């Protein structure tokens, strides 16, 4: 807003002020109101900065817990691939051979950028495996102005995968017939398809599910209550997945599962 | 989450652990992961509390600015009614005689409850006027559990209006033919209709526009740039209002006007 008050569009009093403009007393009051607004704006900005600092502080405090968790997770074979398979939406993009490949996933990391709002990255750490040479595959999201000085945002990037010969799962999926039993209702047909696609960084449902649902509490997916195990057969699992996607609001569904555990 | 790990639904390794259950080493790791999760949950809760404290602190710091603004506003006749009339959505619920009545509105106040998330109240302060006896009309929103111990939420309440004889604008509107020139596309036909209706406290578009748009920065509506004044006639103003409501997303439109001024 400019600091000099502008003309009123309407004068509700109908006392003729419209053409003459506000009188001197009113002009003075308006200028002081404008000064008040500037004070309020400055306070709002300071409040945002302080809230950001609190978020940064707790990101740092949470970090050792997440690191400790990562070490513990390494003692459990297939922790992450099992959590992915048990996650109602993420499971929908796992091709059978990708599941096989993800057995080599020994560590998952989600890192918010220092200023939080500008973006985050997801690091997938792999054991030596028959599919590709990379030790770490990273998908990085730059969502806000502060992220990059050259203004290339919103944007996402992903590590180029160095497939071993004859093991390119993306190519195999393109050529082989669609034999996977699972119904796929996501935008992405497969995990590596999702990983490599950077066309729409802003609405990346899978990335958000990993960041806001799997990462804050994977145990709820790794461990599944007995009650859900017994009555389900393959078809029913498919139906559930379908519902979750038809809803077009997968993120919120995930949040419901977290409830008071995802207060960040 | 329970503190005792439950059985896995799927064992992705396919190494026969499913029936036998995780071995002792894994059980131990899972219990430690669960302890990590509890630490993370506790940190999340602390973060929420600190952020709330920052918000409370700045609500207090903003208060004197808002009070000073209220005093200054009193020096400008019809400040609030003019701001209401110039607001693209709020103007849609102002009946002509209500506009007349709102000339007596000398002070508007929005107060968030101490814990912020539980709700807020809007106080309309009036001069002596021909329409009703009340000096203050209050509309109060209880939106969250913390608001009331008896669990009556979400709910809104509004001061019963003590209409002077023959001046009940709600009754008059019910009986008189619909002569007002303005097109009305809101859920509410008139201002006092809105004020008195507590049927849907959660989706009260008008209350939210007052709280999040008019209250943080009324000057932007009281003062309207010259450029918008000249080409418009009555019919065009009506068309604009219609668009704003057809969009079904009035709040966001208001927020756009605020941009960096509404960082709270």
Say how many domains are in chain B.
2
Determine, for residues B78 and A13 on separate chains, whether the beta-carbon distance falls below 8 Å. Answer: yes
Determine, for residues B40 and A78 on separate chains, whether the beta-carbon distance falls below 8 Å. Answer: no
Q: Which residues of A touch B21 (CB under 8 A)?
A: none
Interface test with B, best of A21, A27, A51, A257 (most B CBs within 10 A): A51
What pLDDT is stored for residue B22 in this prediction?
Answer: 53
**pLDDT over 90 for what percent of chain A?**
59
Higher pLDDT, residue A136 or B235 = A136
Determine, for residues A226 and B6 on separate chains, whether the beta-carbon distance falls below 8 Å. Answer: yes
Same domain for A194 and A81, yes or no, is: yes
pLDDT tens-place string over residues A10-27: 444 444 444 445 588 999
User: Does residue A31 carry a pLDDT above 60?
Assistant: yes
Determine, for residues B219 and A103 on separate chains, whether the beta-carbon distance falls below 8 Å. Answer: no
Q: Which residue of A has its CA nearest to B104?
A: A13
Same domain for B104 and B53, yes or no, is: no
Residue A195 lies in a domain: yes
Residue A264 lies in a domain: no
Contact between A196 and A137 (Cβ < 8 Å): no
Q: Which residues of B touch A20 (CB under 8 A)?
A: none
Same domain for B189 and B141, yes or no, is: yes
User: Does residue B123 carry a pLDDT above 80?
Assistant: yes
User: Does residue A166 carry a pLDDT above 50?
Assistant: yes
What pLDDT is stored for residue A21 in this prediction?
Answer: 53
User: Does residue B242 carry a pLDDT above 70?
Assistant: no
Query: Residue B73's closest CA among B257, B228, B214?
Result: B214
Given B12, B44, B225, which is nearest A103 (Cβ)? Answer: B12
Contact between A219 and B37 (Cβ < 8 Å): yes
> Pick from A14, A42, A73: which residue ends a domain?
A73
Can you give the length of chain B in residues?
264
Q: Which residue of B has its CA nearest to A103?
A: B13
> Which secondary structure element, helix H or strand E, spans residue B167, and what is its range?
none
Separate counts of helices (H) and strands (E) for chain A: 11, 4
**Residue ranges making up the domain that contains B88:** 74-261
pLDDT tens-place string over residues A227-254: 444 444 444 444 444 444 443 443 333 3
Q: How far is Cα B18 from Cα A108, in angstroms, rounded to an integer?
A: 23
Query: Per mean pLDDT, which range of A143-157, A160-174, A191-205 is the poorest?
Result: A143-157
User: Does residue A255 carry a pLDDT above 90?
Assistant: no
Determine, for residues A43 and B65 on separate chains, whether the beta-carbon distance falls below 8 Å. Answer: yes
Query: Per mean pLDDT, which range of A34-43, A61-70, A76-85, B232-241 is the poorest?
Result: B232-241
Same domain for B115 and B223, yes or no, is: yes
Same domain for B236 and B184, yes or no, is: yes
Strands (E), A131-205: 136-142, 155-158
Q: Which residues of B touch A30 (CB under 8 A)?
A: 76, 219, 222-223
Residue B11 lies in a domain: no
Same domain for B47 and B101, yes or no, is: no
Q: Which residues of B touch A116 (CB under 8 A)?
A: none
Sorted by sequence, the CB contacts under 8 Å of residue A222 that are 6+ apart come out as A76, A79, A82, A83, A86, B8, B30
**pLDDT over 90 for what percent of chain B?**
59
Same domain for A63 and A82, yes or no, is: no
Taking chain A, what is the end-to-end CA distance rounded to the nearest angstrom? 33
> Pick from B61, B87, B113: which residue ends a domain?
B61
Determine, for residues B82 and A12 on separate chains, whether the beta-carbon distance falls below 8 Å. Answer: yes
Q: Which residue of B has its CA nearest to A36?
A: B65
What pLDDT is stored for residue B5 in this prediction?
Answer: 39
Same domain for A213 and A112, yes or no, is: yes
Domain harbouring B253, CATH code? 3.30.1120.90
Interface test with B, best of A59, A66, A72, A216 (most B CBs within 10 A): A72
Q: How far is Cα A209 from Cα A254, in angstroms, rounded to an integer?
A: 7
Residue A197 lies in a domain: yes
Residue A57 lies in a domain: yes
Query: Per mean pLDDT, which range of A29-33, A245-249, B22-26 is the poorest?
Result: A245-249
Tell me whether residue B82 is exposed, middle or buried, using C-beta atoms within 10 angstroms of its C-beta: 0 to 12, 13 to 18, 19 or more. Answer: buried
By three-state DSSP, how is residue B154 classified?
coil
The answer to whether the peptide bond before residue A154 is cis (omega within 30 degrees of 0) is yes
Shortest distance, CA B78 to any CA of chain A (angstroms): 6
By three-state DSSP, how is residue B125 classified?
strand
Same domain for B208 and B248, yes or no, is: yes
- When pLDDT is averaged across residues A55-80 and rounded to a whole number, the result is 95
Complex ipTM > 0.95: no
Alpha-helical runs (H) found in B185-233: 191-196, 205-209, 219-222, 226-229
Taking chain B, what is the end-to-end CA distance rounded to the nearest angstrom? 33
Query: Per mean pLDDT, which range of A59-73, B39-53, B70-84, B238-252 is the poorest?
Result: B238-252
> Which secondary structure element, helix H or strand E, spans residue B122, and what is its range?
strand B119-126
Residue A13 lies in a domain: no
Same domain for A84 and A184, yes or no, is: yes
pLDDT tens-place string over residues A115-161: 877 899 999 999 999 999 999 999 999 987 654 455 667 899 999 99
Interface test with B, best of A6, A12, A44, A62 (most B CBs within 10 A): A12
- Share the mean pLDDT of chain B: 78
- When pLDDT is averaged across residues B141-168 and rounded to a whole number, the result is 82
Same domain for B137 and B177, yes or no, is: yes
Residue A17 lies in a domain: no
Determine, for residues A33 and B5 on separate chains, whether the beta-carbon distance falls below 8 Å. Answer: no
Given B12, B25, B78, which is nearest A78 (Cβ)? Answer: B12
Same domain for A120 and A249, yes or no, is: yes
What pLDDT is stored for residue B248 in this prediction?
Answer: 41
User: Does residue B121 carry a pLDDT above 80?
Assistant: yes
Shortest distance, CA A81 to any CA of chain B (angstroms): 7
- When pLDDT is averaged across residues B217-242 and rounded to a whole number, the result is 60
Shortest distance, CA B127 to any CA of chain A (angstroms): 15
Given B57, B78, B228, which is nearest A12 (Cβ)? Answer: B78
What pLDDT is stored for residue B188 in this prediction?
Answer: 63
Strand partners, A136: A125
- Share the mean pLDDT of chain A: 78
Q: Which residue of A has its CA nearest to B234?
A: A10
> Pick from A10, A42, A73: which residue ends a domain?
A73
Q: Which residues of A touch B36 (CB under 8 A)?
A: 65-66, 68-69, 72
């Amino acid at each position: 807003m400019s600091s000099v008050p502008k003309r009123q569009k309407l004068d509700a009093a109908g006392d003729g002020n419209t053409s003459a403009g506000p009188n001197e007393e009113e002009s003075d009051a308006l200028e002081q109101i404008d000064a008040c607004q500037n004070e309020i704006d400055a306070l709002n900005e300071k409040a945002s900065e302080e809230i950001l600092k609190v978020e940064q502080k707790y990101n740092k405090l949470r970090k050792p817990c997440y690191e400790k968790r990562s070490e513990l997770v390494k003692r459990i074979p297939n922790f992450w691939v099992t959590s992915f398979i048990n996650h109602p939406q993420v499971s929908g993009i796992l091709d059978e051979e990708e599941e096989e490949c993800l057995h080599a996933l020994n560590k998952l990391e989600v890192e918010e950028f220092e200023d939080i709002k500008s973006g985050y990255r997801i690091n997938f750490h792999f054991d030596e495996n028959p599919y590709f040479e990379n030790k770490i595959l990273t998908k990085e999201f730059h969502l806000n102005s502060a992220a990059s000085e050259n203004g290339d945002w919103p944007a996402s990037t992903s590590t180029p995968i160095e497939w071993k010969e004859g093991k390119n799962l993306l190519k195999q999926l393109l050529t082989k017939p669609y034999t996977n039993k699972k119904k796929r209702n996501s935008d992405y047909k497969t995990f590596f398809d999702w990983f490599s696609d950077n066309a729409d960084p802003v609405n990346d449902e899978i990335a958000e599910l990993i960041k806001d649902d799997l990462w804050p509490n994977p145990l709820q997916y790794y461990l599944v209550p007995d009650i859900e195990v017994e009555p389900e057969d393959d078809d029913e699992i498919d139906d559930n997945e379908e519902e979750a996607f038809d809803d077009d609001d997968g993120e919120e569904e995930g949040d419901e599962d977290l409830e008071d555990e995802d207060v960040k």
